[in-house]
Structure 1
Amino acid sequence: MMGVQEAPARLFYDFDLEAHVPAGHLLREIDRFLDVCAIRQQLAPHYSHLGRPSIDPELIVRMLVIGYVLGIRSERRLCDEVHLNLAYRWFCRLGIDGKVPDHSTFSKYRHGKFRDSDLLRSVFEATVARCISEGLVGGHGFAVDASLVEADVDRMNSTAQADWDVSGIDPDDAPRAVREYLDVLDDKAFGASTPVKPKFTSHSDPASQWTAARKGPAIFAYSNNYLIDTDHSVIVDVEATRSIRQAEVGAAQTMIDRTEDRFSIKPDWLVADTAYGSAENLAWLTKRRGIIPFIPLVDKGERTDGTFSRSDFEWDEDNDRYTCPEGQHLLQSRRNYSDPRRKEPKTGRRRYRATKAICDACPSKSKCCPNTNTRFIGREEHEDARDLARLAAQSPFNPKAQAKRKKVEMLFAHLKRILGLGRLRLRGPCGVQDEFTLAAIAQNLRKLAKLRPKTHETTVAI
């Protein structure tokens, strides 16, 4: 006999929301690790003791976490999904008949109380602390990298840099993103990272960077900077910058310092790509922080035409000179000054040169300097830090370190393809930082749910 589905009207229903959420649901696993206990206490100074009760800020945070964990980019759609989905209602503590906030409420909280109290940063650090307590952060090796994320602007709504006049902007009449741009002009992560000005400036989001780094059509973009622990790819810090190499290197230093300050963790070694291989950054890592850099160098001293390369010359630190393969010395200066400081270069770069007479009589001149009278070698101010990076690149551990660096790139691929953050929705430095922070929270929570599931704990207990 064929059955017929019927839904008879009933006056009372016995409904248990807890029973309708599967035991292995992703949100049920994430709920165990999301620490929002301190939200109300942190936001208490931003509320008045009079008036109507506000929407619970914990509800807003939980809804944002759902949106970023599950890749729901639209806040209108997020509100509809929370209204309809029982698992989302359970995660947000709404019950079966709780009212879902309007989508406009998110803007009020993010541009107001959340930003003034730096709440999202606190939630992110609480998530990192949970990863540390769960044993997912070893703290021995870190990897750092940056990825371009397209800004929410129209490329045609821009002005050439020659026609862009900051002094003519009235902050009182400017949009929020423009006001934030004016506030960060002296910040190294944005306006002060380099004196070079971009070719074009966006009207709606002037802090975004005009760049063609994707090897395609130029776009306005920001850089998402991740510092991760290489053991389980946990994001220990995140920073938003303009898409400029100097800003990304500065963000790496900021994140390393902040991680040590917040969690008392300093890595033994750091792996990154060639963008982080400047002499100044290597000196900062090795001399000031005591970190071994597994960073490839752009070394123009190595030759491929059969002549002697820079590495064929031996450096003598005690006597401040190079020794060529024939045993001759390359000196910075052959004059004796009464004041030794006159020998020091003003730019920080030094040149070591052999005399013409020595080079003309040398039997290896055709292999050393066939097209010049003498051979010279330039030495950077922090060449000793570059030498340490060269030694690290020759160590047996370097291939493993370079393989671990790809874990950062995998996180960026997951961010854009799975979580849907291929293009930003918010504008301005603060809005972009909020988006990147929420995305890092979502990725760490998913990592916790995957590596420390409750079902595994139950199996071990049995």
Structure 2
Amino acid sequence: MIRMLIVGYCFGIRSERRLCEEVHLNLAYRWFCRMGLENAVPEHSTFSKNRHGRFRDSDVLRHVFESVLGRCMSEGFVKGEGFAIDASIIRADASSARGVPGSESIDWGCVTGQSRAVREYLEALEEANPAGTEAAEMTETSTPPERISLTDPAASWTAAKGGLPFFAYSINYLIDLQAGIIVDVEATPANRSHEVESTRTMIERVEQRCDLKPRRLVGDTAYGSAAMLAWMIEEKEIAPHVPLWDKTMRKDNTLSSSEFKWDELANEYRCPTGHALRSDRHKFRNPRSRVTKADTIIYRTSQFDCENRSMKDRCCPNTPFRKIARIIHEAVRDKTRRIANTPEYNQSCRERKKVEMLFAHLKRILKLDRLRLRGPSGAHDGFLMAATAQNLRRMAKRLVPGSKQMNQAVA
């Protein structure tokens, strides 16, 4: 049955009913699935029963993916020197019409009478926020999602630029840059915070299970936040080859914080006219950390210095003095800026297209532009099988002479 699923994902056969028909007639498929001419093809309903039963209980699809990855590693296709990370949005099997505003109270009714995706969603909420706990009270007061699907509540309400909104999940790929082999895959809600957080999960899982740790990680601006950079550099010792998430540049012709010189020893900024911006102008008996809730330290200049300064109109025209919020991870941001000026970083930017090509192949060739399975577990299963199929196709093209032309003709 696993081999039949691999055939379906490799050749873009989305329907399991049609897959059973194809395997019944195609001798090559029968050979790959270890079935003789006299063997009966499993019924299409058998896949659903096993998927929601022993497949998920044993996590066999993850085992299949890691087995194929292990073969790619033994063949020398995975170098482990550089990884690339990215995410792409995949439509959920949920109609936009079957959604309600997130602020609206929803009576889910009896859990046992709901669909499997709804039960999975409610069980996950109960597990994360048990009734009566402080976490549950915080959840009730937090901002609700814009829209919730009654068919697949875990799917996120999102929209591509210039398009209509829809319910979707995100597929996150972590690939090795040598041959574009996928070393890990993760399904998350379609929002940036979950996508970035999945990076930590995948890198730690690959290091633990495959003993692979990259020297550099390539990604787009979404992975250039200060907290993420600090985790990569200080905890994992990975060089971040990502654009810095920087909002300090001003567009109103006034001085940006980058035009102020930082003095590490004196713990102060110096403005272009030479005046100091300090965080502790007033001494206290009990020292204070000065760290705000936003993980920043505020550096201020003296109001007297600003009043008598000729550049006040360009520095702080609307306030009596200038202040700069310095992130506590600014040191790692400076290191990321220095990496961005190296030739190796430019090479990483060119190599990052390999993960984008895998997403294009996933949607155009494997036809996975919309999920057929519902719920986070369904997205997890579908993405694992798709990544397995892509690794198998890439490995076959490199191992078998002439297979590239043959696969293109079949596709």
Question: Residue 438 of structure 1 aligns with which residue?
Answer: 385
Question: Residue 195 of structure 2 aligns with which residue?
Answer: 248
1:142 alignment partner AA: F
Task: State the secondary structure of the residue aligned to 1:184.
Answer: helix
Question: Residue 181 of structure 1 aligns with which residue?
Answer: 121
2:112 is matched with which residue: 128, 147, 172?
172
- The answer on whether the counterparts of 1:143 and 1:272 sit within 8 Å (CA) in structure 2 is yes
With normalisation by structure 2, the TM-score equals 0.90
For residues 109-188 of structure 1, the aligned pairs below 5 Å read: 109-165=50-106, 168-185=108-125
1:413 is matched with which residue: 338, 341, 360?
360
Question: Residue 332 of structure 2 aligns with which residue?
Answer: 385
Question: Residue 66 of structure 1 aligns with which residue?
Answer: 7
The answer to whether structure 1 residue 283 and structure 2 residue 223 are counterparts is no
Unpaired segments ≥5 residues, structure 1: 1-59, 457-462
1:97 is matched with which residue: 38, 44, 50?
38
Identical-pair percentage? 51
Q: How far off is 1:197 after superposition? A: 2.7
Compare 132-141 and 396-405 and name the one that shifted more.
396-405
- The answer on whether the counterparts of 1:209 and 1:222 sit within 8 Å (CA) in structure 2 is yes
Question: Residue 155 of structure 2 aligns with which residue?
Answer: 208
Q: How far off is 1:326 after superposition? A: 2.6
**Counterpart Cα distance in 2 of 1:267 and 1:142:** 6
Report the RMSD for the aligned CA atoms in angstroms.
Answer: 2.2
Q: How far off is 1:304 after superposition? A: 4.5
Q: Structure 1 residues 344, 455: CA separation in 2 closer, same or farther (over 3 Å shift)? A: closer
Residue-by-residue CA offset, 1:245-284 (whole Å, 9 max, x unaligned): 1111111110011000011111111111111222211111
- The answer on whether the counterparts of 1:144 and 1:272 sit within 8 Å (CA) in structure 2 is yes
**Counterpart Cα distance in 2 of 1:147 and 1:326:** 47
**Counterpart Cα distance in 1 of 2:54 and 2:323:** 60
Residue-by-residue CA offset, 1:281-306 (whole Å, 9 max, x unaligned): 11111111111112212322223554
**Counterpart Cα distance in 2 of 1:61 and 1:223:** 24
Question: Residue 267 of structure 1 aligns with which residue?
Answer: 214
Task: State the secondary structure of the residue aligned to 2:248.
Answer: coil
**Counterpart Cα distance in 2 of 1:374 and 1:273:** 36
**Counterpart Cα distance in 2 of 1:200 and 1:344:** 36
Larger CA Rg, structure 1 vs 2: 1
Q: Structure 1 residues 305, 202: CA separation in 2 closer, same or farther (over 3 Å shift)? A: closer
1:75 is matched with which residue: 13, 16, 22?
16
- The answer on whether the counterparts of 2:103 and 2:145 sit within 8 Å (CA) in structure 1 is no
**Counterpart Cα distance in 1 of 2:33 and 2:4:** 7
1:404 is matched with which residue: 342, 351, 356?
351
**Counterpart Cα distance in 1 of 2:161 and 2:119:** 28
- The answer on whether the counterparts of 2:93 and 2:372 sit within 8 Å (CA) in structure 1 is yes
Question: Residue 31 of structure 1 aligns with which residue?
Answer: none
Unpaired segments ≥5 residues, structure 2: 130-135, 404-411
User: May I ask how many residue pairs the two structures share in their alignment?
Assistant: 393
**Counterpart Cα distance in 2 of 1:346 and 1:85:** 63
Question: Residue 174 of structure 2 aligns with which residue?
Answer: 227
For residues 286-365 of structure 1, the aligned pairs below 5 Å read: 286-341=233-288, 343-365=290-312
